[in-house]
């Protein structure tokens, strides 16, 4: 069985969902621009809308409304496809709109979301806070503030932001944020309830199938991490029914297959995911699985591809810094560099996952006491993330704290045996035998 990797809830939580209360421009648009606003509500396929608004911008470079809407469409395309360069295109267009009209709320608000998607959380928070300070009714800004606080490890202010949102609107994006926070607190049953409510509300509101696919994937991920493979698989399949090209739902099916010991089926799902989107994380998963079945040549090739994708110049090296550190750590190579990357990422994004990663690299380097300090920080919220407790157990064992190690391993096993790697099961049996 594979060692659990950092949960997709940590990796994917920064993919912001479109908020249902987007602010309209402060200026009254002309009839022509009003039509543009309607089109920008994404009634057309994203690629067609981008072409349409690109023509408008080419014809009128100072049309800041069209530039803002073009930026929003690039942002949507990035979320739909995982294309990181689309975030840069969105940033370029939104900044160009602000060069013409620095007070345009729509452009400022979406620029904050673009920064968050690029892991530039402090910049996102600065913009969103300025908007919210000027207008306490701007719920889009409040949502972005909560997202940024979450990624910066300020969980008290994140919860306060989400609670304020919930007081004003019980929409699917708000419910999904509350579900995520409940999961961070280890309240997985409550998280599942909130996420199901979000799906029900989203279906009643008639939001797009592409957005609904995210909600189903998210609920599937919650079920996977609470030991319910049947429901996890069902929601991953529902996600793909809504959006057949949703690669992270395909990855979810791979996780389920691997958990059931169906390694070749899992390999097939991951190869299908790569056909949809080249991702360093997916290549790393393939490398690990090929290693399990003894295909070292294929494993090596996928490690190479994973590193190449994570180190591409530009936005990739910024967004995939944590992923690259994990890749090095999984291979037990370039560990000092992995530690540097992990610490840089923790400074940039001081969340639970950042502390866990630093702890795991320190463990691999044999610096167990330092690792224990970081590991405990990753558990402070009570999150039921198997990989965090697996890492913590091994670290505590090497520090001589076997009672803690047993407790952490049992916590994983109580959720589901498949979430505990074989070496973890062996260590638990050994330590329990020694404690008798």
Q: How do residues 12-48 score in pLDDT, each as one tens digit?
A: 444 443 433 333 233 333 334 545 444 444 567 888 8
Kindly report the number of other CB atoms within 10 A of residue 226's CB atom.
Answer: 18
Asked whether residue 148 is domain-assigned, the answer is: yes
CA 32 to CA 73: how far, in whole Å?
Answer: 18
CA 305 to CA 427: how far, in whole Å?
Answer: 33
Domain end call among 98, 129, 154: 154
State how many domains the chain has. Answer: 2
CA dihedral over 347, 351, 356, 357, signed as positive or negative: negative
Kindly report the number of other CB atoms within 10 A of residue 151's CB atom.
Answer: 24
Which CATH number does the domain housing residue 372 bear?
A: 1.25.40.10
CA 324 to CA 203: how far, in whole Å?
Answer: 37
Q: What is the pLDDT of residue 82?
A: 80
CA 389 to CA 375: how far, in whole Å?
Answer: 9
Q: What is the pLDDT of residue 43?
A: 65
Domain end call among 104, 134, 154: 154
Asked whether residue 80 is domain-assigned, the answer is: yes
Asked whether residue 72 is domain-assigned, the answer is: yes
Write the CB contacts of 394 (distance below 8 Å, at least 6 apart in sequence).
Answer: 363, 405, 424, 427
Q: DSSP per residue over 202-229, as a string?
A: HHHHT--HHHHHHHHHHHHHHHHTTT-H
| CB-side neighbour CA atoms (13 Å) of 238 | 18
Q: What is the pLDDT along the chain (436 residues), one digit of tens a residue?
A: 344 444 454 444 444 434 333 332 333 333 345 454 444 445 678 888 999 999 999 999 999 999 999 999 999 888 878 888 999 999 999 999 999 999 999 999 999 999 999 999 999 999 999 999 999 999 999 999 999 999 999 999 999 999 999 999 999 999 999 999 999 999 999 999 999 999 999 999 988 888 899 999 999 999 999 999 999 999 999 999 999 999 999 999 999 999 999 999 999 999 999 999 999 999 999 999 999 999 999 999 999 999 999 999 888 888 899 999 999 999 999 999 999 999 999 999 999 999 999 999 999 999 999 999 999 999 999 999 999 999 999 999 999 999 999 999 999 999 888 999 999 999 999 999 998 7
- pTM of the entire structure? 0.88
> Which residue bears the tokens 């990181």?
84
Please give the C-alpha separations between residue 257 and each of 125, 158, 269, 384, 398, in angstroms, as whole numbers: 39, 35, 9, 21, 32
Domain of 43, in residue numbers: 35-154
Asked whether residue 61 is domain-assigned, the answer is: yes
Q: 156, exposed or middle or buried, with CB in 10 Å at 0-12, 13-18, 19+? A: exposed
Q: DSSP per residue over 227-255, as a string?
A: T-HHHHHHHHHHHHHH-TT-HHHHHHHHH
The answer to whether the beta carbons of residues 423 and 431 sit under 8 Å apart is no
Q: DSSP per residue over 86-149, as a string?
A: HHHHHHHHHHHHHHH-TT-HHHHHHHHHHHHHTT-HHHHHHHHHHHHHH-TT-HHHHHHHHHHH
Domain end call among 137, 154, 171: 154
Q: What is the pLDDT of residue 314?
A: 85
């Amino acid at each position: 069985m594979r060692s659990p990797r950092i949960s997709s809830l940590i990796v994917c939580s920064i993919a912001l969902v479109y908020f249902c209360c987007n602010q309209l421009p402060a200026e009254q648009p002309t009839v022509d621009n009003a039509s543009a606003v309607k089109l920008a509500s994404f009634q057309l396929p994203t690629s067609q809308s981008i072409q349409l608004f690109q023509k408008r911008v080419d014809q009128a470079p100072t049309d800041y409304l069209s530039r803002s809407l073009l930026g929003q469409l690039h942002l949507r395309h990035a979320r739909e496809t995982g294309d990181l360069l689309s975030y840069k295109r969105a940033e370029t267009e939104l900044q160009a709109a602000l060069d013409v009209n620095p007070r345009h709320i729509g452009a400022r608000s979406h620029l904050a979301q673009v920064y968050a998607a690029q892991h530039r959380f402090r910049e996102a928070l600065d913009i969103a806070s300025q908007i919210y300070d000027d207008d306490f009714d701007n719920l889009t800004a409040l949502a972005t503030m909560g997202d940024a606080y979450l990624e910066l490890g300020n969980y008290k202010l994140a919860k306060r932001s989400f609670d304020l949102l919930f007081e004003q609107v019980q929409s699917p994006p708000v419910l999904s944020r509350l579900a995520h926070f409940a999961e961070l607190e280890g309240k997985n049953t409550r998280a599942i309830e909130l996420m199901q409510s979000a799906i029900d509300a989203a279906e009643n509101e008639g939001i797009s199938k592409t957005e609904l696919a995210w909600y189903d994937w998210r609920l599937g991920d919650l079920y996977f991490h609470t030991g319910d493979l049947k429901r996890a698989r069902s929601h991953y399949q529902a996600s793909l029914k809504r959006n057949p090209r949703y690669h992270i739902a395909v990855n979810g099916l791979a996780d389920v297959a691997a958990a059931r010991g169906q390694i070749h089926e899992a390999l097939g799902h991951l190869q299908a995911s790569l056909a949809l989107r080249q991702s360093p994380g997916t290549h790393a998963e393939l490398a690990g699985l090929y290693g399990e079945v003894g295909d070292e040549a294929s494993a090596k090739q996928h490690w190479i591809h994973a590193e190449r994708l994570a180190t591409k110049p530009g936005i990739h090296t910024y967004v995939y810094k944590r992923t690259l550190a994990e890749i090095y750590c999984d291979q037990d190579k370039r560990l000092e560099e992995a530690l540097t990357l992990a610490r840089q990422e923790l400074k940039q994004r001081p969340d639970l996952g950042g502390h866990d990663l630093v702890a795991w690299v320190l463990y691999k380097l044999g610096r167990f006491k330092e690792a224990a300090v970081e590991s405990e920080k990753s558990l402070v919220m009570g999150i039921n993330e198997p990989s965090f407790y697996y890492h913590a157990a091994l670290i505590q064992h090497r520090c001589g704290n076997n009672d803690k190690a047993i407790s952490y391993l049992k916590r994983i096993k109580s959720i589901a045996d498949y979430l505990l790697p074989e070496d973890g099961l062996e260590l638990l049996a050994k330590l329990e035998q020694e404690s008798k």
